[in-house]
Amino acid sequence: MCGIIGYIGSRQAIPVLLNGLKRLEYRGYDSAGVGVINKKRVTVIKASGKISNLEELLKDFDEDTRIGIGHTRWATHGAPTDINAHPHTNGTSTIAIVHNGIIENYRSLKTMLKEMGYQFTSETDSEVIAHLISYFYEKEKNLFNATRLALHEVEGAYGICVISSEEPDKIICARKGSPLIIGVGDNEHFVASDAPAILEYTNNVIFLEDGDIAEITKNKFVIRSLDNQIQDRDIEKIELDISTIEKGGFPHFMLKEIFEQPESIQNSIRGRIILSAGNVKLGGLEPVIDELIDANRLIITACGTSWHAGLVGEYMLEQYAEVPVEVEYASEFRYRNPVITKNDVVIAISQSGETADTLAAIREA
User: Do the bridges between strand 212-216 and strand 344-349 make them parallel or antiparallel, or are there none, so unpaired?
Assistant: unpaired
Per the domain annotation, does 76 fall within a domain? yes
Same domain membership, residue 290 and residue 242: no
- C-alpha 41/C-alpha 60 separation (Å) is 18
| Residue-by-residue DSSP string for 238-272 | --S-HHHHHTTTSSSHHHHHHHTHHHHHHHHHTTT
Report pLDDT for 146.
98
CATH number assigned to the domain comprising residue 158: 3.60.20.10
* Residue 270 covered by a domain: no
pLDDT for the residue numbered 354: 64
CB under 8 Å to 263, separation ≥6 — which residues? none
Residue 276 lies in a domain: no
Q: Are residues 314 and 188 part of one domain? A: no
Q: Residue 83 domain-assigned? A: yes
**Domain contains 315:** yes
CATH number of the domain within which 304 lies: 3.40.50.10490
**Core vs surface per residue 112-148: b (16+ CB within 10 A) or e:** bbeeeebeeebebbbbbbbbbbbbbbeebeebbbbbb
Q: Does residue 214 share a domain with residue 337?
A: no
> Cβ atoms within 10 A of the Cβ of 106, count?
21
Residue 251 lies in a domain: no
Same domain for 196 and 312: no
Q: Which domain holds residue 52?
A: 3-246
Residue 358 within a domain: yes
pLDDT in tens, 276-315: 777 777 766 777 888 888 899 999 999 988 999 999 999 9
| Domain tally, the chain | 2
| CA distances in angstroms from 309 to 204, 257, 265, listed in the order given | 41, 15, 11
Residues 359 and 228 in one domain: no
Q: What is the pLDDT of residue 290?
A: 87
The predicted pLDDT at position 245 comes to 67
C-beta atoms surrounding 306 within 10 Å: 18
Are residues 85 and 180 both part of a single domain?
Answer: yes
Last residue within a domain, chosen from 246, 270, 296: 246
Residues 112 and 238 in one domain: yes
Domain match, 118 and 177 both: yes
The DSSP string of 333-351 is HTTS-----TTEEEEEE-S
pLDDT at residue 327, as a whole number: 95
* Domain end among 246, 275, 296: 246
Clarify whether residues 349 and 216 are in a common domain. no
Are 317 and 196 in the same domain?
Answer: no
Q: Are 223 and 316 members of one domain?
A: no
Phi and psi dihedrals of 73, rounded to 5? Answer: -120, 135
User: What pLDDT is stored for residue 54 in this prediction?
Assistant: 92
State the pLDDT at residue 171: 98
Which helix (H) or strand (E) segment holds residue 191: the answer is strand 189-192
Q: Are residues 236 and 289 in the same domain?
A: no
Model confidence over 115-150: pLDDT tens digits? 999 999 998 889 999 999 999 999 999 999 999 999
Tell which of 246, 268, 298 closes a domain: 246
Largest CA-CA distance found in the chain, in angstroms, rounded:
72
Give the model's pLDDT for residue 270.
Answer: 65
Kindly list the averaged pLDDT for each block of 10 residues, start to end, along the chain of length 365. 90 95 80 91 90 90 93 73 87 93 89 94 91 96 97 92 97 93 96 92 95 97 96 90 71 84 74 71 76 90 91 92 92 83 90 71 73
Question: Is 214 a domain residue?
Answer: yes
The answer to whether the CB of 78 falls within 8 A of the CB of 124 is: yes
pLDDT of residue 76: 65
